[in-house]
């Protein structure tokens, strides 16, 4: 059991499965549905997921293939600003579309919270390589707890597992994963609560 838990293979599986783009798209679908409890809400979630997760991840994959970035997790801090900027622009397009099309307030609040979270991580990244994985995971856990009840704060156990995976793969230090989780959770809580 100890070998399985500490293996790089397990850490890679956690890192890839619970990657930011996957979590972003999942939370948008969940909150989209929650906003109206029908397919219309899910449709808003799909639209937001396309611009907040799908397009940014595609940009990353194209950049990796072109040799602009080392890998799909953009490990090198100096390569991250371009990815952050492209993602922020795509999220801004989502916000404009959601406002113009009168999307449910909860979906719009989540996307704005994502933009503020991204900008916060960008700011920290300017000086220090903070974990985007734990920032996004913490934001997702916070939003789910705010939307469905405090018992979902138990999802922070998954945030800890994601943090472990990032440290085990030597992509981040423990401090970088903790700061990422703190920034992601705090920004999500403040912005989502104020706007929903």
Residue corresponding to tokens 């800890």: 160
Cα Rg for the chain, rounded, in angstroms? Answer: 16
Residues 6+ apart with CB under 8 A from 39: none
pLDDT in tens, 88-134: 999 999 999 999 999 999 999 999 999 999 999 999 998 999 999 99
Task: Tell me, yes or no, if the pTM score tops 0.75.
Answer: yes
User: Which of 19, 16, 6 lies closest to 134, judged by CA?
Assistant: 19
| Residue 77: CB atoms within 10 Å | 13
Instruction: Please name which of 82, 88, 77 lies closest in space to residue 55, comparing C-alpha atoms.
Output: 88
Residue 6 pLDDT level (bands cut at 50, 70, 90): low
19 alpha-carbon distance from chain centroid: 8
> Hey, where are the domains in the chain?
2-195
pLDDT in tens, 36-82: 878 899 999 999 999 999 999 999 999 999 999 999 989 888 999 99
Mean predicted lDDT score pLDDT of the chain: 94
């Amino acid at each position: 059991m100890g070998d399985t838990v500490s293996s790089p293979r397990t850490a890679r599986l956690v890192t890839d499965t619970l990657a930011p783009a996957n979590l972003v798209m999942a939370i948008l679908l969940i909150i989209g549905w929650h906003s109206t409890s029908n397919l219309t809400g899910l449709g808003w979630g799909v639209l937001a997921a396309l611009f907040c997760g799908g397009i940014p991840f595609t940009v990353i994959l194209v950049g990796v293939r072109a040799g602009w970035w080392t890998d799909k997790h953009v490990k090198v801090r100096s390569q991250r600003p371009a990815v952050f900027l492209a993602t922020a622009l795509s999220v801004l397009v989502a916000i404009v579309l959601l406002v113009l099309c009168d999307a449910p307030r909860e979906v719009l609040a989540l996307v704005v919270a994502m933009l503020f979270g991204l900008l916060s991580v960008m700011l920290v990244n300017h000086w220090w390589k903070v974990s985007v994985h734990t920032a996004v995971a913490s934001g997702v856990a916070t939003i789910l707890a705010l939307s469905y009840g405090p018992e979902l704060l138990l999802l922070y156990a998954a945030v800890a597992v994601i943090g472990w995976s990032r440290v085990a793969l030597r992509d981040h230090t423990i401090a970088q994963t903790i700061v990422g989780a703190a920034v992601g959770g705090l920004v999500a809580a403040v912005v989502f609560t104020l706007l929903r």
